[in-house]
Amino acid sequence: MNKRNEWTFDNHFHSPPSKILIIEDDLDTSALLFHTLTEEGYTADQVFDGEKGLEAIQEKKYDLILLDLMMPLIDGFDLCQKVKSNEKMKSVPILILTAKDDYNAKIRGFQVGADDYITKPFVIGELLARIRAHLRIQELKHDLTVSENRYRQIIDHSPDAILVLSNNKEVLFSNKRLIEIIEETSEESIAGKNIAELTSISPIFQEVFDSINRVESQKTHIQNEICLNSSSIGETTQKTFFELFCLPITNEYSQIETFQVIIRDVTQRKKVEDAFIQAEKIHSLGILTAGIAHEINNPLTGISNAIQIIKKCELPSERQAEICEHVLSNINRIAKIVKELTTFSRPYGGISEVFNIIEAISDTLTLSRYQSGSEKIKFCWSPPSTPIYLSGNRNKFQQVIINLLVNAVQATAPNGVITVEASEEAKVLTVSIADTGCGIPPNQLKKIFDPFFTTKRDWKGTGLGLAVSYRIIQLFNGTINVESTLGKGSKFTIKIPAYHLTTKNE
Ligand SMILES: Nc1ncnc2c1ncn2[C@@H]1O[C@H](COP(=O)(O)OP(=O)(O)O)[C@@H](O)[C@H]1O
Ligand SMILES: [Mg+2]
């Protein structure tokens, strides 16, 4: 039946001839039909009453049935109804043979499920044309089922969970992986239900619900990462990370018809990414260490000297108070450095918070002043007077700023300038870090965000700073871009879209 040359599941190159069953009690008509069909290359079987016809259909798979209406025992109408109400047999097309002007018979024939009719006495050409047309329809139906099954299999075996929702947010389709992830037994438990109803089944649906609402109001796709505490092994709870991708499918009038949701388990990738981020953090802390050590050493020397003076000499109480004041201010200096360091270096976890990016940038700038070479560079930072709040992981955001600042300091010669700017416009946050450093050659611009790409020798660079920064900004649904002129300087610009910006509820 399938004569196409392309690959199908039941890939066959030479289809056997189509099998046609003739159910006709008039011997002459039956013989004529049989002769015509076999001459045309079809395989035909003949039976002469309805009962035998039914037996034959149950025993053998036919591609088409020619059915006379007026027959003894079971007539054509009854037989047609029986075949069409049987799940297994109903797909086979039935062409009824009717007398020329018997309109009532034709109408009844269609009512009981017949696919077409041939008027007796029939014209051979018309008979064959109708048979061919029905066999072709069958062939197309078959191809469609094969193709549907093929895509269904691919989708079902996809490692990603797939969910399709109607514009009313009711489940139209879900694949097996989704059922596994939400730990349900069958698709029936979610089929046709509204996503709002499903939020109690799994926390994943709560996330899908929130994301779909955002997709609906913004009419654009969104991607975010979610963390779930899944199974507990011993004392520790295993965290599973998913990437959620929600996409609106619109019609020609830009109205949303369906929502597509793809949920990907990214736990393993996340572990590797976190290891990269950690490695880069340790590296940048390493770069800052010498400056930090120096910065702590100065007040420590001051404290040590003061203590020795107090120990050795009998001092008047006024002088003693003055020295104690000096000790305290030095201790405060050290405490400040330690505070700056801990906010930056505490473990990431999955903590998401609402933070003021102006403060985060100011703290990071203070830290970056410890980097060797930075003392001869002018930093320009005019923080906007109103806070800009961002929701997400503050630490990771600071990691990006430090990575960009470390690079800028490394690229900039003494007396150069590093300008940091932050603003919010039309609910988009923009942060830029520009330097007057060496710039980036055009042929390297495409590579700088690749992991392990570095032009720094002697282990001064890991090549992970920008790759990690790119990924972190992606997690904020933002972008990071660079403009650079060789010999003049570079400017990195981060943009984070509206929905991460939030007003603090205080
Ligand atoms: N501000 C900058 N000016 C000039 N080149 C830069 C700047 N920032 C990054 N680069 C280039 O991009 C490369 C990759 O940066 P990064 O991923 O941070 O790795 P690393 O700093 O460890 O080399 C650097 O080696 C450098 O060649
Ligand atoms: Mg770097």
Gap between the terminal Cα atoms of the chain = 71
Q: What is the pLDDT of residue 59?
A: 92
161-265 matches 271-500 in fold = no
494, β-bridge pairs: 431, 480
Three-state helix/strand/coil letters over 417-455: EEEEEEEEECCEEEEEEEECCCCCCHHHHCCCCCCCCCC
| Protein residue closest via CA to atom 8 of ligand 1 | 407
Q: Which CATH architecture has domain 19-155?
A: 3-Layer(aba) Sandwich (3.40)
Confidence of residue 343 (pLDDT cuts 50, 70, 90): low
- More confidently predicted of 317 and 61: 61
Bigger pLDDT: 258 vs 7 = 258
Other Cβ atoms within 10 Å of 419 Cβ, number: 17
CB 327 within 8 A of CB 307: yes
Q: What DSSP element (H or E) covers 465? A: helix 465-475
Instruction: Provide the pLDDT confidence category of residue 345 given band limits of 50, 70 and 90.
Output: low
Pocket of ligand 1, candidates 407, 447, 464, 480: which has the most ligand atoms within 8 Å of its Cβ, to mutate?
A: 407
pLDDT digits (tens, 9 = 90+) for 252-303: 998 999 999 999 999 998 888 888 887 887 888 788 887 888 888 888 998 9
Summarised one tens digit per residue, pLDDT across range 153-200 is 898 889 999 999 999 999 999 999 999 888 877 888 899 999 999 999
Radius of gyration, CA atoms only, the chain = 38
Residue with CA nearest ligand 1 atom 11? 448
Q: How far is the CA of 381 from the centre of ligand 2 (A)?
A: 21
Of the ranges 207-216, 290-299, 323-332, which one carries the lowest mean pLDDT score?
A: 290-299
Show the ligand 1 pocket: residues with CB < 6 angstroms.
403, 407-408, 411, 435, 437-438, 440, 448, 453-456, 461-467, 490
Q: Which atom of ligand 1 is nearest to the CA of 461?
A: 22
pLDDT classification of 349: cutoffs 50, 70, 90: low
Task: State residue 1's pLDDT score.
Answer: 42
Task: Flag whether pLDDT at 347 surpasses 80.
Answer: no
Name the fold adopted by 271-500. Heat Shock Protein 90 (3.30.565)
For residue 247, what pLDDT band results from cuts at 50, 70 and 90? very high
Please state whether beta strands 428-435 and 389-392 pair in parallel, antiparallel, or not at all (unpaired). Answer: unpaired
492 pLDDT tier (thresholds 50, 70, 90): very high
Cα(224) to ligand 1 centroid in Å equals 27
Which among 223, 189, 148, 254 has a CA at the least distance from the CA of 477? 223
| % of the chain surpassing 70 pLDDT | 92
**C-alpha 481 chain-centroid distance:** 23
Running DSSP on this structure, what letter comes out for residue 255? Answer: -
Angle at 476 between CA 473 and CA 478, to 5 degrees: 60
CA pair distance 315, 327, nearest whole angstrom: 15
Query: Cα(487) to centroid of ligand 2, in Å?
Result: 18
Q: What is the pLDDT of residues 355-402, one digit of tens each?
A: 899 999 998 998 888 888 899 999 999 999 988 988 888 888 998 999
CA-CA distance, 89 to 77, in Å (whole number)? 15
Per-residue pLDDT reduced to its tens digit, 144-156? 999 999 998 898 8
| Mean pLDDT value across residues 452-462 | 83
Confidence (pLDDT) at 327: 92
State residue 346's pLDDT score: 61
pLDDT band at 68 (very low <50, low <70, confident <90, very high): very high
d(CA 429, CA 199): 31
Mean pLDDT, rounded, of the chain:
87
Q: 103 or 344, which is more confident?
A: 103
How far is 229 from 241, CA to CA, in rounded Å?
9
Structural contact between residues 383 and 351, judged by C-beta atoms closer than 8 angstroms = no
pLDDT of residue 317: 83
DSSP code at position 476: T
Residue 236: pLDDT band (50, 70, 90) is low
Q: What percent of the chain has pLDDT over 90?
A: 51
Res 333: pLDDT: 86
pLDDT of residue 10: 45
Backbone conformation region of residue 221, classed left if phi is above 0, alpha if psi is from -120 to 50, else beta: beta
Is residue 48 predicted with pLDDT exceeding 50?
Answer: yes
Q: Which ligand is nearest to the CA of 455?
A: 1
pLDDT band at 310 (very low <50, low <70, confident <90, very high): confident
User: pLDDT at position 215, please?
Assistant: 92
How many whole angstroms separate alpha carbon 467 and alpha carbon 434? 18
pLDDT score of 291: 80
Which ligand sits closest to the CA of 466?
A: 1
* Residue 130, pLDDT above cutoff 70: yes
**Residue extents of the structural domains in the chain:** 19-155, 161-265, 271-500
Confidence tier at 2 by pLDDT (50, 70, 90): very low
- Predicted confidence band at 6 (pLDDT cuts at 50, 70, 90)? very low
> Which pLDDT belongs to residue 498?
59
Closest CA to 468 of 371, 378, 399, 392: 399
Q: Left, alpha or beta for 347 (phi > 0: left; psi -120 to 50: alpha)? A: beta
Whole-angstrom Cα distance, residue 462 to residue 284?
10
Angle at CA of residue 426, ends 425 and 431, nearest 5°: 35
Q: Which is the closest atom of ligand 1 to the Cα of 453? A: 14
User: Which ligand sits nearest to residue 462's alpha carbon?
Assistant: 1
Residue whose CB lies within 8 A of the most ligand 1 atoms, among 466, 490, 492, for a mutation test:
466
The helix/strand/coil state of 10 is coil
Q: What CATH architecture does domain 161-265 belong to? A: 2-Layer Sandwich (3.30)
Alpha carbon distance 453, 59 (integer Å): 69
